[in-house]
Amino acid sequence: MAKNNIIKNILKRALYPHHLYKVIKLQRNRKRGNRHEDDAQLKLYGKILKGDFLHYGYFDNANIEAEDISLNMIYQAQKRYAEKLVELISDKSTPALDVGCGMGGLLKLLNENHINAIGLTPDNTQIKHITNTYPNQVLHCRFEDIKADDYIHHFGTVITSESLQYLQLDKALPIIDKIMKPGGTWVACDYFRLGKAHEKSGHDWESFNKLLTEHGFKMTKEEDITPHILPTIAYIYMWATQIGMPVKEFLIEKVKVKNPGLYYMIEKSLPEIDGKLDKNINIINPTLFAKEKKYVLMRMERI
């Protein structure tokens, strides 16, 4: 009876005009909404990783095998990544801005180093968590929408830690110039595309360097840390391919045997689902990542 009710409810919502309209409306509203405003993925990462960091981390031992990595090692690598950012801050007496501050892990480390740090994020989940956890002021907006006139030459350091890839550079670079004090530094750590990369996230490396020059910035520190972030990617890839995919196949077979009616409804969609899964898994393929992208730790100053 329960199985029949499940199928009946699915068909009802799939076929009745009123419910079909509701489905379309919800989907369209989702597309229009700002995915950064309340990101379920970020909420999940925050619960899994105890250090309030959302980046790839930095493994001093770049040759560690994925099978030998534990969640605690991921946390320690994320903390090490944040430490490397702080090491590039020369002016610790002037406020720092953490652009895209995530769950506040870097803010915590800046506090421990007695640096007056302000965070910035458009995400509701992050704002709520930081407000309840840390004493720092947090600006609730996209960086491109910051009220720059309120912070003219205010920050000795601007930090973009795995948030640079999301910024519109033509808008963001003039803002950084405006809010950073003379002699200040911009510390960034992120990945970039090399040539015609298969996956389009991240800025193109050559174009980024060209824009830096055009906007009057010079790079005073450049360290390719790709080998040191690859262990995290390899770890995620291992879980996806060796555990995630087999579990998916098991669940589908379970549905096929236990609920053939439901399986019949989703059967034709399975190849499309598999295609999307393969595409997402390729994004975290460490070999492909190393071939098409580079992860760079940088410090920039005004010319």
| pLDDT confidence tier of residue 281, bands split at 50, 70 and 90 | confident
Could you give the CA distance from residue 78 to residue 55 in angstroms, rounded to a whole number? Answer: 7
In this structure, the answer to whether residues 214 and 84 fall within a common structural domain is yes
In this structure, the answer to whether residues 169 and 282 fall within a common structural domain is no
**Residue 279 included in any domain:** yes
In this structure, the answer to whether residues 218 and 267 fall within a common structural domain is no
Please report the pLDDT score of residue 23 as a whole number: 45
**Residue 4 included in any domain:** no
How far does Cα 211 stand from its chain's mean position?
23
**Contact indicator for 23, 13 with CB cutoff of 8 Å:** yes
Domain range holding 100?
A: 66-227+292-302
In this structure, the answer to whether residues 220 and 241 fall within a common structural domain is no
Whether 190 has a pLDDT exceeding 50, the answer reads yes
Mean pLDDT to the nearest integer, 114-132: 94
Q: In CATH, what number is assigned to the domain containing residue 213?
A: 3.40.50.150
| pLDDT confidence tier of residue 26, bands split at 50, 70 and 90 | low
Could you give the CA distance from residue 291 to residue 176 in angstroms, rounded to a whole number? Answer: 31
Lowest mean pLDDT among 16-20, 114-118, 197-201, 240-244: 16-20
**Contact indicator for 179, 148 with CB cutoff of 8 Å:** yes
In this structure, the answer to whether residues 241 and 197 fall within a common structural domain is no
Residue pLDDT, tens place only, 228-280: 999 999 998 999 899 888 988 998 999 899 888 888 888 888 888 888 888 88
In this structure, the answer to whether residues 223 and 270 fall within a common structural domain is no
Number of domains in the chain: 2
Whether 24 has a pLDDT exceeding 70, the answer reads no
Q: Which residues touch 237 (CB under 8 Å, ≥6 apart)?
A: 66, 281, 284, 285, 286
Whether 21 has a pLDDT exceeding 50, the answer reads no
Whether 110 has a pLDDT exceeding 90, the answer reads yes
In this structure, the answer to whether residues 178 and 275 fall within a common structural domain is no
Output the average pLDDT for the chain. 86
Query: Which among 52, 139, 46, 154 has a CA at the least distance from the CA of 98?
Result: 139
* Helices and strands (DSSP H and E) totals, the chain: 13, 8
Residue pLDDT, tens place only, 57-72: 999 999 999 999 998 9
Whether 13 has a pLDDT exceeding 70, the answer reads no
Residue type, 21: Y
Q: Which residues touch 240 (CB under 8 Å, ≥6 apart)?
A: 281, 284
Crossing angle of helices 40-48 and 124-133, rounded to 10° = 40
Residues paired with 301 in a beta bridge: 218
Query: Which among 62, 78, 45 has a CA at the least distance from the CA of 231?
Result: 62
In this structure, the answer to whether residues 121 and 242 fall within a common structural domain is no
Please report the pLDDT score of residue 43 as a whole number: 53
In this structure, the answer to whether residues 94 and 152 fall within a common structural domain is yes
Mean pLDDT to the nearest integer, 87-109: 95
Whether 294 has a pLDDT exceeding 90, the answer reads yes
DSSP helix/strand/coil, 246: helix
pTM: 0.81
Please report the pLDDT score of residue 31 as a whole number: 45
More confident residue, 29 or 165: 165
Could you give the CA distance from residue 278 to residue 83 in angstroms, rounded to a whole number? Answer: 34
